[in-house]
Structure 1
């Protein structure tokens, strides 16, 4: 199959496929007589594997380690896979905690708006200006800038 068909089958952009080839994650395909890349089912499966790993927010280095691990039954290498997933899970949990804290800050900031803009200034802007001056603000408390 040609690169366009591979792209369509996997949902991976053509330029990304070329990048994966250049970086060694995806082996270079054979070329047909007319010079076009000729991808196989193995390319499709490997690219789908890479795409799935990237959807799990794994780095390209982690994806490379996982691809190498597919070729081994070495227990220590497989333990690295377990550790990699555990580390990724810890990163996701840390981001979730950070996003929940951000949500609370935005809710507190949003609560400063009384929506009667014809008679009052904007409470949100007032809070943001106060924070810029190092004053207490609804979203960060006393003198705690973001």
Structure 2
């Protein structure tokens, strides 16, 4: 028989808080085990693995909706579809990085304009934001 955990021990083992476990249950990402009469729900090692999977997928930028899709694909053993989702997520991350690089450059240019200014009443940064 495998070790059975209370919700508190599950949360601790997975590195989350109890409300996170309950939220994942409400979202349908984590099964709610049956509650024995007069007892507490018991969670298995599989529950711990699933919560850790969800947290790792979130750290990679997947939304909870996307994670639900990944879990469904895992159960259906469809690696090619899972790969396609990962490629799509990678492309989205690369686009965000390009957007952030553009934002960084624009802000750097504005800061340099401000540094080169004469300290007058008009701030180049504010002026650029107003006229954009």
* C-alpha separation in 2, matches of 1:133 and 1:69: 48
* Residues 1-146 of structure 1 aligned to structure 2 (within 5 Å): 1-73=5-77, 77-114=78-115, 120-121=119-120, 126-134=123-131, 145=132
Report if aligned partners of 2:114, 2:123 keep a CA contact under 8 Å in 1: no
- Pick closer, same or farther for the CA change 1:30–1:106 going to 2, 3 Å: same
How far did residue 81 of structure 1 move? 0.8
Native 8 Å contact 1:30 1:39 kept in 2: no
Aligned residues: 128
Give TM-score scaled by structure 2 length: 0.82
Deviation at 1:32, TM superposition (A): 4.9
Instruction: Give 1 or 2: higher helix fraction.
Output: 2
Which residues of structure 1 form unaligned runs of 5+?
A: 135-144
1:68 CA drift (Å)? 1.6
Which fold has the larger relative contact order, with Cα–Cα distance below 8 Å and residues 6 or more apart in sequence?
2
TM-score, length-scaled by structure 1: 0.75
